[in-house]
Amino acid sequence: MNGHTAAPPYGQVLKLDELLQAARVHDDDVERVLFMATHQACEIFFAVILRHLEAVRTALDAGDGPLAVQRMTPLPVIVSTLVRQFDGLATLSVDAFHTIRTDLGDASGFQSAQFREIEYLCGLRDARFLNTAGFTPGDKSRLQACLDGRSVQEAYRDFVGGCDDPETADQVRRALLDFDEAFAMWRTRHAVLAERFLGGDTGTAGSDGASYLWLAARRRLFPEAWPVVASTAV
């Protein structure tokens, strides 16, 4: 005992009762527990990624390249852990997957507003996604605010334009590229997983399923961070 007022214990600090209740970890079907918890874990980390991206944009606007790099550095590592989450889902039995899928109706990760927010905040802006069925009015207004606001891509462009230290500018570019590459790997792993369970079948949101995800895997968050390839006549 040190005489200080007792700090709340671990479970309270983390609000574990509420968290685990929301995660429905007591469902009888353990495969569904894995399926739901994986999606929820991804959403928690999407939120963490969004907070970091906002901090990257603020640092770039303040002309602080090293701070932007520091805020960007955890992101590819976090995304790699999300790639591994797909490996966990790949262990589901095909029967369990189809039972869960039937119960899901047309609910789909396609309706992840935070995922679209990550794309919009970075600068990958396809406004058609605003009309995604299942988005709440709150989702839509957050996404619209993102579209109306400054992107990380714009902040990067202005930062590079005003930066007289090529080494720092290149470190920032590399940090954006590392994140974009990790994100592309996430998209790719996702497409493989969808193919594993769906084959050529459509997705729960009515898309072309794995084929849609393979096309989506070509999207890049920061095209300007990648090398410019000289066009080659064929």
Q: How many CB atoms lie within 10 A of CB 44?
A: 12
Q: Binding of ligand HEM at residue 36 (CB under 6 A)?
A: no
Task: Judge whether 222 and 155 are in contact, CB under 8 Å.
Answer: no
Exactly one of 57, 65, 152, 209 binds ligand HEM (CB under 6 A); that residue is: 209
Please identify, among the stretches 6-14, 141-149, 174-182, 195-203, the one whose residues bind ligand HEM according to the rule CB under 6 A: 195-203
Residues 6+ apart with CB under 8 A from 124: 219, 220, 221
Exactly one of 20, 55, 109, 142 binds ligand HEM (CB under 6 A); that residue is: 109
Q: Binding of ligand HEM at residue 193 (CB under 6 A)?
A: yes
- Report d(CA 30, CA 81) in Å as an integer: 21
Please identify, among the stretches 22-30, 36-44, 134-142, 154-162, the one whose residues bind ligand HEM according to the rule CB under 6 A: 36-44
Exactly one of 194, 220, 221, 222 binds ligand HEM (CB under 6 A); that residue is: 194
To the nearest whole angstrom, how small is the minimum distance from the Cβ of residue 189 to ligand HEM?
A: 10
Q: Binding of ligand HEM at residue 115 (CB under 6 A)?
A: yes
**Long-range own/partner contacts, residues 154-161 (CB < 8 A, 24 or more apart):** 154/123, 155/56, 155/57, 155/60, 155/61, 156/60, 156/222, 156/224, 156/225, 157/224, 158/60, 158/61, 159/60, 159/61, 159/63, 159/65, 159/68
Closer residue to ligand HEM (CB): 72 or 213: 213
Binding site for ligand HEM (CB under 6 A): 38-39, 42-43, 89, 97, 108-110, 112, 115, 190, 193-194, 197-198, 203-207, 209, 212-213, 216
